[in-house]
Chains A and B, each alone.
Chain A
């Protein structure tokens, strides 16, 4: 079986799960949350689609999408500025019948005319809450071979109650067919959960969108996966490669710091399947006379004159002389003055911390400092 990936349409939901990371999505979409020093979360599904050979992608947005539009631009950096296909941004109010959607099915209804006009045969749908380097080709191939109506990418792992509440949980038979679906169920322990990536035939999806809309149904998880699990052939694709699911601020914090581990970073940043992002043309990072940097991930354009340990520094971060920064995530253009002590802190973009400030929190609850704040 060899599927022509040029025959597959990609759909990315930029706003799904916004609510789970409230602080971070105050002025942006889930997809435009900064991640891993130089990326935004949407870079992962977009790069994965491009690296899998998909060349037509729609990005479905709902609100707060200015940062997303800024980031994507003409999509050339993902090689999606194409004559045939390419990237399409699908905002709400796309046509007269649609507005702010309540769930995935309504979101898709808003994008219906785009989906219909595509000449592709299959569709891969992905959210922006999973950081991974995923090849969609074997998933589409399994989907075609198995004759499934819907293929859901899943993983089996130990989950906490909070994680389970934020995930769709499946009961999967030995043949890979999904027999039962739990939505927002307060369980814990070993579970097979959804990675919010789905494969369908395009015509099947269009039919699904239209019938659901006619009946006023809007939740894909509840109204389709759960309600029609017996009737439809829903199958799981078991994914066992490196991934991190972002379902709250703490998991965001940990997922960033996890990338400092070279093993993790090697599993995510594969040289032959690079993760693309917007280029900012920063100069290289400069390490000063008395700087000390250990166990950290540093993007370009930083100027470091103090001490940095266990940190992720985004592009253009400046750290003054005598400052000590530990276990923290400093987003784009954060400026830390002289002689500060900072630990377990997340600073959003353009945060300015003056000289001699002491900011500490704990591993269980990192302190978040909002965009543009001055401390």
Chain B
């Protein structure tokens, strides 16, 4: 027996995140560490539970080991439930054959049975690659009050950035009248956040129709939304005005981390009424040594710091030895920076060791040619031997 749920969340977490290169070689993007003690997927999962949505299907496909283990039974997010809770949904073999998820719409299509078990009126589609705090329940209330068939969350972005997003063109009543994908000359500044609420019955019929169309690319943005528009369904935009960031690239992942230590950016992780939950690593408090100097940074449990840290995010279990200097960087869980090494404008992956005297990355102001500058990346589990220099923009995925 399954209890009826008003709204079920489906979280698309199967993407490869290929633009994060070395950081997603062995982990799916939603499992990439973020903000010292989180992984990206903590944000949509915490939003779900804080919004009162307790049934979440997580669609996985690419490198699911770390992600599956991280989600586990969903207990850290209070999503271990008798009815509902979090369920990991990988592609599976059916009597008619086996298929990978060939697109976002196809992934939901293949799991229609899962959603049907809860007999929901609505389904909310989320993705595992954005950092934001959002009350989905407010969006659902809006969806209902508008009597919409589909509601798309949108963010008002600066005009010069609008061409990077899918743009929604709306009438005075926020009904969506047209949309364009990454337009050169945007007609509106309302960017789609990749969050959709559908009436489940309606969505199902479009998923089935889309599946029967052999030419379709089985994608929400490319097929389902345009199909619904064409058929005259009521599509509305839901304006969101908080912090929202896509972390699909090295630069945006770095920026989104730095946003947490920027007092002018409105994302508050300390709000007891909207906690972001994460799986706890079971480590002692951070040990700050006699020679340590830490400013403008976030540091979490299990760290041993005896060096200098400025404008950085230091994840659990990181060691920074005496004389080492870490500035404007992200150190992922278990990373080690040995004596006198310098890490600047870099991302160091999980459990990687930066040998003593290494110099990773550089400050943009120290570059002769600014075009050569970029965030340096050291992948997960690598050993960088003593004295190695890693240039800005370099992406390391093997021991050096």
Contacts and interface: CB of A to CB of B under 8 A. Distances in A.
B282 to A, nearest CB: 4
9 contacts: A37-B285, A76-B75, A268-B284, A281-B76, A281-B277, A284-B36, A297-B286, A298-B299, A300-B285
A96 to B, nearest CB: 36
B78 to A, nearest CB: 10
B299 A288 contact: no
Nearest to A279: B280
Interface in A155-202: none
A287 B298 contact: yes
Contacts of B304: 262
Interface residues of B, number: 37
A284 B37 contact: yes
A1 interface: no
B85 interface: no
Contacts of B280: 279, 281
Contacts of A114: none
A34 to B, nearest CB: 12
Contacts of B261: 286
Interface string B290-310: 111111111111001000010
B159 interface: no
A313 B301 CA distance: 12
A303 interface: yes
Most buried by A among B293, B295, B304: B295
Contacts of B309: 287
B300 A300 contact: yes
A294 interface: yes
A300 B288 contact: no
A265 interface: yes
B286 A298 contact: yes
Given A36-B284, A269-B283, A295-B290, A289 B296 contact: yes
A76 B309 CA distance: 35
A206 to B, nearest CB: 35
B275 A281 contact: yes
Nearest to B294: A287
A37 B302 CA distance: 12
Interface string A15-52: 00000000000000000000011100000000000000
Given A291-B294, A295-B292, 10 more contacts: A260-B287, A269-B284, A281-B277, A284-B300, A287-B296, A287-B299, A297-B288, A298-B288, A298-B299, A299-B285
Contacts of B277: 281
Interface in A276-310: 276, 279, 281, 283-301, 303
A283 B37 contact: yes
B286 A265 contact: no
A274 interface: yes
Nearest to B302: A269
A303 B298 contact: no
Query: Secondary structure at chain B's binding surface: helix, strand, loop or mixed?
Result: loop
Nearest to A308: B288
B286 A285 contact: yes
A275 interface: yes
B299 A38 contact: no
A76 B72 CA distance: 14
B99 to A, nearest CB: 38
Given A76-B75, A284-B35, A294 B296 contact: no
A294 B284 contact: no
B290 to A, nearest CB: 5
B373 to A, nearest CB: 25
A220 to B, nearest CB: 33
Given A290-B295, A291-B295, A283 B276 contact: yes
Contacts of A294: 288-293
B66 interface: no
A259 B314 CA distance: 21
B104 interface: no
B278 interface: yes
B2 interface: no
B200 to A, nearest CB: 31
Contact of A299 (B289, B292, B301): B301
B49 to A, nearest CB: 11
Contacts of B289: 262, 294-295
A274 B285 CA distance: 12
A296 B284 CA distance: 13
A208 to B, nearest CB: 36
B323 to A, nearest CB: 15
A313 B299 CA distance: 13
List the 6 shortest-distance A-B pairs measured between CB atoms, nearest first: A37-B285, A283-B269, A284-B36, A284-B300, A269-B284, A284-B298
B284 A275 contact: yes
Interface in B262-287: 269-270, 275-278, 280, 282-287
